[in-house]
Structure 1
């Protein structure tokens, strides 16, 4: 069973103990069955075995409780560990892949796959008891009559082989339903992102609602229904097969010869007793098949990083807040903080290509070679679609260049140290997300008083308050949100700053504040500042201007506009 193998990788000791305890619970149940049969056949007189009966009942209850508590703790902590690993996987996934594929796959893993795994884990003790009861009951049936047992085993082999085709089809339906779940989540994400546009145009909403949303919801429903219908056929087939076998015993048992009436009754009682356990084993097939699909998806995302000798206590310790923070710091070598200033960047022949549609060539950026000196104030200009934002994402390490090299202070930036490289940048993109708390600034010499001073300069003190690095609200206008994003980036005190069209949504007053106060202050502190801008009236503020046109760097910019690149 794949769930057992998965959990064994986390805590083999717990799984071994839980399996043994569950087996004890199952064996006590079968021993109780043997006592019932002995009394029915009159083998035991009176109350000679009453204390054994009481002891077995107590042992079964205690063993079941211990197994359930043990596995539940492991299930919850392993699910917690998976969610944390998914978070790390999310941040380590290249931005270009996230932009291309969307986040539906990772969101589905967090909201669906981990929960399904956790549910199947918690049901393991009961299923292990059912398996033990079933296996032990088969042994007891063999003790009663090996002839009848051989007939039963042969019957079940035929049943299992004939069900295998249906089982594979059932698992295929589950995988297809899981894929539709991802698409449905992406559709709801689109609805969330475009809710204003949908509200403002009911025709658009009707087309979206009755079109894409309806279609994907229908496919998800129908594929799940097909899976459940097929599993119902599998379960019904097993039920019919069971009663066919019982009928064969009743009407054809005498053909085997040498089987007494008492043995036949005990055999029938045992079959009926174990039927409930067999039914639950069959029913668990649906749950564990779904868990198997979830495991496939999580394995494809590469989130399994557990140790093969980890106890629950060690799992608990590994996921303590301090150790999680240390692990993330080690991911990007945060032990070496970036310098406060003095960063030189050198780009040599960098380029990036977007795939085209229907085999046509897509947009191509570069090749671009450029050196940016420490303390320089560089403007990047160009028309819409010229490649400015793509160039900026390569420059700050969010995109890995398709060709060429990036160097920082003589150190070549590669896959192994790209995360370290990005930590040198403070950025405000045109679509930057605004967090309600200043995460990661706990060890910086900033106080709420300093942040309040920046809020006053940005005329936000009446809109936003700050307490222990947490803002009272982020429900602001677009221009105000960008000003608050400027504050959060400013206090990070990075050696390099990149601003993508920051002033585009600002009033003239705040444009001048940005170009004549913020940028000169950063330059005076020795920061390297890169600004993507269309504000030609402020071009003279820059030390140098780089112009992009159709993905290429333009040389020979007129002197009255800029200093040549």
Structure 2
């Protein structure tokens, strides 16, 4: 039902037209069976009227069936397409801190596994809808043949559906548990790729991780899915068995209880035999629909979590402030609330002011709050208390998106795009190539139509490519988070003694998080943090 509502929300008009054409197709199929039954019962197989009516009904059935499927296939795939975009939009509109709390593994499971389950299911929905229309039309025909026999058949079908639905409910419950395990499994799979060096260098850790973490979670997910799909298979088999039992009762049992004419009985047997294929198709698709319903519920839950914290992001392209003079942070604080721990880490309250053309170093030990401060300064984290003012104007949710456009950054956990996105310059390739020469990467990377020839480089070289993007953005404030930590001594010297002074000379405000104390004397100011406080 969730999937049907999912399609109705996408376009109720298309669903209505598809339902109408599908119903016509189902009625036409039922009339085809009626014409065949009439021809057999009346021994008028050579009647031209029956022949032409049969041909006409076959043509109408084919045409309406194709039209209904075309409409539903287009609608279902369009709905999945919009769901992907909507989910991506929810994520990029959600505050960074909330995304970190949700965890990358949960987001990845939703973007990949859940979307794929729904995509597979909506492909089957058109066929399910056509088959349901066919079943309803055939049941109506059976009622027209004989209400007494129809009531017996209907009672049996209701009991059969109840038995099958009971098994499918069990299937759905087990698939929900399997989906919960899927989140944990994605977390472990990420640990393999992100922690491969640590796993390779410690045999006991690797063995413990594989047997006590990954294997346990993978086995739980496997077992829940196996049990769920097994019960689904039992439901399908029970449905087929009950169908044959119904045929046996009609052919062998009902004539002993009451008088039933041969035309009626043959009509029932012919119709029910014809219904076997669409009913079997529906039963085979139902487990996949159950799995997709679980996935859709997970997406709805995630969507509520994301939209409840959604930031105000204008559809119009935020404009870069015309100039930068001063940035003031007043009494800002941010707290990390740690689960299962009595103490929390709080950064601040801090009072800071930055001016154009300054080179400021932010220093301190690990865990002192340097990266958190960087995220507060750039607007990625929202202060829990205090305020940020740009040229005296308070930064709020209405102008925070425009405020973020002040910053060109390279964080320690940066992401490098293969294409230079969002930068419109007439001579982009030429400028990029010049910066590559300054960064000593021209022999490894080329730029053609804004696309980098490769990003498969060492971490230090990848950071230089990230710096290339920051240069091309040409924004008033630059922030580098431990940028030089992966550079060789030669290029580290170039970074501190050439690149940073050049940015300052161009009037840029440069904020550098660093542990390189031998270069601290180059800064105009130095901010030292110790467990969230300025010292």
TM over 0.5: yes
Contact in 1 for aligned 2:73/2:126 (Cα 8 Å): no
User: Judging changes above 3 Å, is the alpha-carbon distance between structure 1 residues 369 and 445 closer, same or farther for their aligned structure 2 residues?
Assistant: farther
User: Judging changes above 3 Å, is the alpha-carbon distance between structure 1 residues 46 and 505 closer, same or farther for their aligned structure 2 residues?
Assistant: closer
Contact in 2 for aligned 1:343/1:496 (Cα 8 Å): no
Shift of 1:219: 1.3
User: Judging changes above 3 Å, is the alpha-carbon distance between structure 1 residues 299 and 292 closer, same or farther for their aligned structure 2 residues?
Assistant: same
Distance 1:372 1:445 in 2: 32
Query: Residue in 1 aligned with 2:475?
Result: 494
User: Judging changes above 3 Å, is the alpha-carbon distance between structure 1 residues 334 and 459 closer, same or farther for their aligned structure 2 residues?
Assistant: farther
User: Judging changes above 3 Å, is the alpha-carbon distance between structure 1 residues 350 and 137 closer, same or farther for their aligned structure 2 residues?
Assistant: same
Contact in 2 for aligned 1:26/1:133 (Cα 8 Å): yes
1:428 aligns with 2:410: yes
Distance 1:544 1:446 in 2: 36
Which residue, out of 363, 366, 370, partners 1:381? 363
Distance 1:335 1:235 in 2: 53
Query: Residue in 2 aligned with 1:293?
Result: 294
Which residue, out of 413, 420, 431, partners 1:438? 420
Distance 1:201 1:446 in 2: 50
Scaled by the length of structure 2, the TM-score of the pair is 0.92
User: Judging changes above 3 Å, is the alpha-carbon distance between structure 1 residues 258 and 13 closer, same or farther for their aligned structure 2 residues?
Assistant: same
Superposed CA offset, 1:160-206 (max 9, x none)? 44554433322111111122222222222221222333344444433
User: Judging changes above 3 Å, is the alpha-carbon distance between structure 1 residues 484 and 126 closer, same or farther for their aligned structure 2 residues?
Assistant: closer
Contact in 2 for aligned 1:104/1:183 (Cα 8 Å): yes
Residue aligned with 2:473, SS: coil
User: Judging changes above 3 Å, is the alpha-carbon distance between structure 1 residues 139 and 506 closer, same or farther for their aligned structure 2 residues?
Assistant: closer
1:30 aligns with 2:11: no
1:409 aligns with 2:391: yes
Query: Residue in 1 aligned with 2:503?
Result: 522
After the TM superposition, which of the residue ranges 244-253 and 379-388 deviates more from structure 2? 244-253
Query: Residue in 2 aligned with 1:512?
Result: 493
Distance 2:22 2:276 in 1: 18
Residue aligned with 2:399, SS: helix
Shift of 1:30: 1.0
Residue aligned with 2:101, SS: helix
Distance 1:200 1:539 in 2: 35
Query: Residue in 2 aligned with 1:235?
Result: 236
Residue aligned with 1:82, SS: helix
Query: Residue in 2 aligned with 1:168?
Result: 169
Shift of 1:401: 2.0
Contact in 1 for aligned 2:23/2:130 (Cα 8 Å): yes
Distance 1:473 1:63 in 2: 51
Instruction: State the superposition RMSD in angstroms.
Output: 2.5
Distance 1:459 1:133 in 2: 69
User: Judging changes above 3 Å, is the alpha-carbon distance between structure 1 residues 304 and 101 closer, same or farther for their aligned structure 2 residues?
Assistant: closer
Which residue, out of 308, 313, 318, partners 1:331? 313
Query: Residue in 1 aligned with 2:441?
Result: 460
Distance 2:425 2:323 in 1: 15
Residue aligned with 1:415, SS: coil
User: Judging changes above 3 Å, is the alpha-carbon distance between structure 1 residues 514 and 341 closer, same or farther for their aligned structure 2 residues?
Assistant: farther
1:355 aligns with 2:337: yes
Distance 2:369 2:317 in 1: 34
Query: Residue in 2 aligned with 1:112?
Result: 113
Distance 2:111 2:369 in 1: 34
Residue aligned with 1:302, SS: helix
Shift of 1:495: 1.1
Contact in 1 for aligned 2:528/2:534 (Cα 8 Å): yes
Query: Residue in 2 aligned with 1:316?
Result: none
Distance 2:281 2:250 in 1: 23
Distance 1:282 1:201 in 2: 49
Distance 1:476 1:160 in 2: 59
Shift of 1:255: 6.1
Superposed CA offset, 1:501-528 (max 9, x none)? 2222333432332223222222222222
Shift of 1:497: 0.9
Distance 2:416 2:81 in 1: 26
After the TM superposition, which of the residue ranges 197-206 and 469-478 deviates more from structure 2? 197-206
Distance 2:211 2:397 in 1: 45
Distance 1:452 1:65 in 2: 54
Query: Residue in 1 aligned with 2:261?
Result: 260
Shift of 1:261: 3.5
Distance 2:408 2:488 in 1: 23
Superposed CA offset, 1:261-317 (max 9, x none)? 332232232222222222223333222212211221222232999xxxxxxxxxxxx
Query: Residue in 1 aligned with 2:79?
Result: 78
Distance 1:427 1:452 in 2: 20
Query: Residue in 2 aligned with 1:342?
Result: 324
Shift of 1:424: 1.2
1:57 aligns with 2:49: no
Shift of 1:154: 2.3
Superposed CA offset, 1:60-107 (max 9, x none)? 222222222232222222222222222222222322233333222332
Contact in 2 for aligned 1:352/1:401 (Cα 8 Å): yes
User: Judging changes above 3 Å, is the alpha-carbon distance between structure 1 residues 469 and 254 closer, same or farther for their aligned structure 2 residues?
Assistant: closer
Shift of 1:227: 0.9
User: Judging changes above 3 Å, is the alpha-carbon distance between structure 1 residues 163 and 65 closer, same or farther for their aligned structure 2 residues?
Assistant: closer
Query: Residue in 2 aligned with 1:322?
Result: none
Shift of 1:6: 1.6
Shift of 1:225: 0.9
Scaled by the length of structure 1, the TM-score of the pair is 0.87
User: Judging changes above 3 Å, is the alpha-carbon distance between structure 1 residues 463 and 54 closer, same or farther for their aligned structure 2 residues?
Assistant: same
Distance 2:273 2:329 in 1: 77
The aligned length equals: 529
Contact in 2 for aligned 1:380/1:531 (Cα 8 Å): yes
Shift of 1:499: 1.0
Residue aligned with 1:385, SS: coil
User: Judging changes above 3 Å, is the alpha-carbon distance between structure 1 residues 351 and 262 closer, same or farther for their aligned structure 2 residues?
Assistant: same
Query: Residue in 2 aligned with 1:553?
Result: 534
Structure 1 residue ranges (4+ consecutive) displaced by more than 6 angstroms after TM superposition: none
